[in-house]
Structure 1
Amino acid sequence: MGNYKIKPNKLKGEVKIPPSKSMAHRAVICASLSNGRSIIKNIDFSDDIVATIEGMQAFGAKINKKHKCVEIEGIFSENNLVKMKENREIDCNESGSTLRFLVPIGNLFEGENHFIGRGNLGKRPLDIFYEIFDKQNIEYTYKEKELDLRVKGKLKPDVFSIRGDVSSQFITGLMFILPLLDGDSKINITTELQSKGYIDLTIDVMKDFGVEIINNNYKEFIIKGNQNYIEREYKVEGDYSQGAFFLCADAIGNEVISLDLKENSLQGDMETIDILKRMGTKFKRVHSAIGGKAKELTGTVIDAKGCPDVIPILSVVACLSKGKTEIINAERLRIKECDRLKAIKEELSKLGGIIEERENGLIIEGIEEFKGGVEVWSHKDHRIAMMLAIASTRCKNTIVLKDYECVSKSYPHFFEDFKSLGGIIDEWNMG
Structure 2
Amino acid sequence: MIKIEPNKLKGTVTVPPSKSMAHRAVICAGLATGQSVIRNIQLSDDIIATMEGMRAFGATIEQAGNTLTIDGCGLETARTSQEIDCNESGSTLRFFVPLATLFEGPTHFVGRGKLGQRPLDTYRELFSLQNLRYESGSSENLDLTIEGQLSSGNYEMRGDVSSQFITGMLLTLPLLDGNSTIDITTHLESKGYIDLTLSVLSAFGIIIKHDDDYKTFEIKGNQRYQAQDYTVEGDYSQAAFWLSAQLLGNPVEVDGLDQESLQGDREIVSILEQLHSDEEERIIDGAQVPDIIPTVALAASLSKGKTKLINLERLRIKESDRLVATQKELSALGAHIEIVGDQLHIEGVSSLRGGAEVWSHKDHRMAMMLAVASTVCEKPIQLKDSECVKKSYPDFWEVFKEVGGEINERSMG
Q: Give the TM-score, by structure 1 length.
A: 0.93
Contact 1:400/1:428 (CA < 8 Å) preserved in 2? no
**TM-align CA RMSD:** 1.4
Is 1:63 matched with 2:58? no
Deviations 1:329-360 (A, max 9, x none): 11111111111111111110110011111331
Contact 2:174/2:219 (CA < 8 Å) preserved in 1? yes
Deviations 1:230-257 (A, max 9, x none): 0010000000010000000001111111
Give 2:151's match in structure 1, choosing from 156, 169, 174: 156
Partner of 2:341: 359
Once the two structures are aligned, what percentage of the paired residues are identical? 56
| SS in structure 2 at match of 1:396 | strand
Structure 2 CA distance, aligned partners of 1:39 and 1:337? 31
Structure 1 CA distance, aligned partners of 2:339 and 2:410? 31
Contact 2:86/2:92 (CA < 8 Å) preserved in 1? yes
Give 2:176's match in structure 1, choosing from 168, 178, 181: 181
Structure 2 CA distance, aligned partners of 1:43 and 1:334? 29
5 Å-filtered alignment, 1:242-261, equals: 242-261=238-257
Contact 1:55/1:90 (CA < 8 Å) preserved in 2? yes
Give 1:298 deviation, angstroms.
Answer: 5.9
| Cα distance change on mapping 1:387 and 1:341 into 2, 3 Å | same
5 Å-filtered alignment, 1:45-56, equals: 45-56=43-54
Q: Which runs of 5+ in 1 are unaligned?
A: 282-295
Structure 1 CA distance, aligned partners of 2:343 and 2:247? 22
Q: Give the TM-score, by structure 2 length.
A: 0.97
Query: Mean alpha-carbon deviation: is it higher for 157-166 or for 137-146?
Result: 137-146
Give 2:161's match in structure 1, choosing from 166, 175, 178: 166
Partner of 1:86: 80
| Cα distance change on mapping 1:149 and 1:396 into 2, 3 Å | same
Partner of 2:272: 276
Contact 1:58/1:84 (CA < 8 Å) preserved in 2? no
Contact 2:59/2:72 (CA < 8 Å) preserved in 1? yes
Segments ≥4 residues shifted beyond 6 Å: none
Is 1:114 matched with 2:114? no
| SS in structure 2 at match of 1:119 | coil
Is 1:325 matched with 2:323? no
Deviations 1:134-166 (A, max 9, x none): 111111110353311000101110111000000
Partner of 1:9: 7
Contact 2:75/2:102 (CA < 8 Å) preserved in 1? no
1:408 partner letter: K
1:60 partner letter: G
Contact 1:299/1:318 (CA < 8 Å) preserved in 2? no
Partner of 2:136: 142
| SS in structure 2 at match of 1:187 | strand
Partner of 1:233: 229
Partner of 1:222: 218
Contact 1:301/1:325 (CA < 8 Å) preserved in 2? yes
Structure 2 CA distance, aligned partners of 1:362 and 1:61? 44
Give 1:77 deviation, angstroms.
Answer: 8.0
Structure 1 CA distance, aligned partners of 2:32 and 2:282? 45
| SS in structure 2 at match of 1:401 | strand
Structure 1 CA distance, aligned partners of 2:157 and 2:219? 15
Give 1:66 deviation, angstroms.
Answer: 1.7
Partner of 1:310: 292
Structure 1 CA distance, aligned partners of 2:369 and 2:54? 31
1:384 partner letter: M
| SS in structure 1 at match of 2:369 | helix
Give 1:192 deviation, angstroms.
Answer: 0.8
Contact 2:78/2:104 (CA < 8 Å) preserved in 1? no
| SS in structure 1 at match of 2:295 | helix
Deviations 1:305-350 (A, max 9, x none): 1110000001100110111111111111111111111111111011
